[in-house]
Amino acid sequence: MNKQRLEAFSDGVYAIVITLLILDVRIPQVQASALGAALIGMLPQIFTYVLSFFVVGLYWFSNHRVSHQVKKLDGTLIWLNLVWLLFVSVMPFPTSLLGRYPLQVIPITIYGADLILTNMTGLVITVYLKRYSELTEAPISSQTLWRLVPVYVISNGTYIIAIGISWIFPLGSYLLYALILGWLMVRYARITNPFQPGKAK
């Protein structure tokens, strides 16, 4: 299995998912005079759309960073990557659900669960690559792996808190999701420029 073809396939899936998200933002079917109010009523849906857009963008970025370390593939890695793509491909469903039922416990939980599952699959892949170092360009050291742990603990921990507080303060769940997204985006913007720390952001 050629690495480039897996990347092309994965990039395709990410590009499609990120673009399909808009299909669930249906235009309102109202009298022309009521259009303004109907659009304002869509704001929660538009917020979840933008959130999911950058979530998928972040996973794509993350997928690239993992893939960059890979030298050759084996079958298990391909299936693990497919599981990752599954959790990303599913994203339009919780996005749409959260847009349709804003501030509800169940959609917030499903959305957060998908975030956690996608996250954890990325971690599993990194652990797999560490173990089978003949698959990577350079062996992944234990330190590298341990340095990732706080990121996973903070992000997934916050997702779990977000799910928890949806019972009492659902707006807080949205804020936490957006906060972690923003933090990870800033973090990624910086990581790509280790040699120019002052520039990115």
Judged by beta carbon, residue 76 or residue 144, the one nearer its own copies is: 76
Judged by beta carbon, residue 100 or residue 130, the one nearer its own copies is: 100
SS (H, E, C) 102-161: CCCHHHHHHHHHHHHHHHHHHHHHHHHHHHCHHHECCCCCHHHHHHHHHHHHHHHHHHHH
Q: Residue 170 — left, alpha, or beta (φ > 0 → left; ψ -120 to 50 → alpha)? A: alpha
Judged by beta carbon, residue 13 or residue 116, the one nearer its own copies is: 13
Judged by beta carbon, residue 87 or residue 177, the one nearer its own copies is: 87
Smallest distance, Å, CB 10 to its own copies?
8
Smallest distance, Å, CB 136 to its own copies?
14
What SS3 state is found at 101?
Answer: coil
DSSP structural state of residue 22: G
What SS3 state is found at 19?
Answer: helix
Contact 98, 113 (CB under 8 A): no
Smallest distance, Å, CB 48 to its own copies?
12
- C-alpha to C-alpha distance for 149 and 126, rounded to whole angstroms: 11
Smallest distance, Å, CB 13 to its own copies?
5
Which residues are near its own copies by CB under 8 A?
1-2, 5, 7-9, 11-23, 25, 27, 29, 32, 35-36, 39, 50, 53-54, 57, 60-61, 64-65, 68, 73-76, 78-79, 82, 85-86, 89-90, 92-93, 96-97, 100-101, 104, 106-107, 110, 132, 185, 188-193, 196, 199-201
Smallest distance, Å, CB 38 to its own copies?
10
Judged by beta carbon, residue 127 or residue 189, the one nearer its own copies is: 189
- C-alpha to C-alpha distance for 30 and 40, rounded to whole angstroms: 13
Contact 65, 120 (CB under 8 A): no
Smallest distance, Å, CB 111 to its own copies?
12
Judged by beta carbon, residue 46 or residue 157, the one nearer its own copies is: 46
